[in-house]
């Protein structure tokens, strides 16, 4: 059905659908942008509470951009000028069967360098890069999420990659 079924987002069923569709993106967006210490999950909930309270005035097609704007503002109000450090996970995404002690040590060193290099990226570069490489999002999707052009996304991700390589390889 192409005509919108709901005039606003007050319908609970529709509201839960919005939650299902956007909450993870919002969460990842805030996590990659500000890091863990801002409690991205709480921010997601606050944004949706705000949406619910304004449900009569927000048109369904505006809900996504409303949520992204609101969650960003909520988080910014919460913190100012803190340096972001993303922690790397203890559990490894892949299994290595024959890990020598040298390998493990080298891997740990590599990740430490990586972490430092990530912290040196600009916020814009980091968010776009991680959404792309970790969450597997296409340039177009990221452009819609961040409300910037596709070209800008491409540029941010590319420069992030180059910067990381130069930092890590020590060139």
Partner 1 sequence: MKKKDLISKWLNFNLSDTEKETFENLDVSASYHRIDRAAKYFKAPEFNTESSYQDLKNKLGNRKKSIRPLYGYISGIAATLVVAFGLFALLNSPQSTEYVAENSARTEFVLPDTSEVILNAGSSISFKEENWDDSREVNLEGEAYFKVAKGKKFSVHSSQGVVTVLGTQFKVKDRSTYFEVSCYEGLVRVEFEGKTYELAAGDAVKAYGDMVVSEKTALGKPSWLENKSVFKSVPIREVIQELERQFDVQVSGEAITSNTLFSGSFSNQNLDTALQAITIPLNLSYSINGKSVVLKK
Considering the complex, what minimum distance in angstroms separates the CB of residue 129 from partner 1?
8
Q: Exposed, middle or buried, 98 (CB in 10 Å: 0-12/13-18/19+)?
A: exposed
53 binds partner 1 (CB under 8 A): yes
Binding mask 12-31 for partner 1 (x = CB under 8 A): ----x--xx--xx--xx--x
Strands (E) across 33-123 are located at: none
Q: Which is nearer to partner 1, 78 or 117 (CB)?
A: 117
In degrees, rounded to 5, the angle at the alpha carbon of residue 89 between the alpha carbons of residues 83 and 94 is 140
For partner 1, the binding residue among 7, 37, 49, 65 (CB under 8 A) is 49
For position 124 contacting partner 1 by CB under 8 A, the verdict is no
Q: Find the Cα–Cα–Cα–Cα dihedral 103, 107, 108, 109, rounded to 10°.
A: 100
Give 122's DSSP letter: -
Query: Is residue 84 near partner 1 by the rule CB under 8 A?
Result: no
Q: Does 88 bind partner 1 (CB under 8 A)?
A: yes
Q: Is 100 in the site for partner 1 (CB under 8 A)?
A: no
């Amino acid at each position: 059905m192409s005509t919108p079924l709901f005039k606003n987002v007050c319908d609970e069923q529709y509201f839960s659908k919005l939650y299902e569709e956007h909450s993870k993106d919002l969460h990842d967006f805030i996590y990659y942008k500000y890091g863990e210490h801002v409690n991205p999950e709480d921010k997601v909930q606050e944004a949706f509470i705000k949406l619910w309270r304004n449900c009569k005035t927000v048109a369904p097609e505006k809900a996504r951009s409303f949520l992204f704007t609101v969650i960003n503002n909520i988080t910014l109000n919460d913190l100012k000028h803190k340096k972001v450090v993303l922690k790397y996970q203890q559990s490894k995404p892949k299994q290595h069967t024959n890990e020598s002690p040298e390998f493990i040590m080298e891997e740990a060193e590599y990740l430490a360098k990586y972490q430092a290099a990530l912290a040196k990226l600009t916020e814009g570069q980091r968010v776009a890069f991680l959404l792309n490489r970790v969450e597997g999002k296409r340039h177009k999707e990221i452009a819609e999420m961040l409300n910037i052009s596709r070209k800008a996304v491409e540029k941010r991700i590319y420069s992030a990659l180059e910067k990381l390589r130069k930092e890590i390889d020590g060139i």
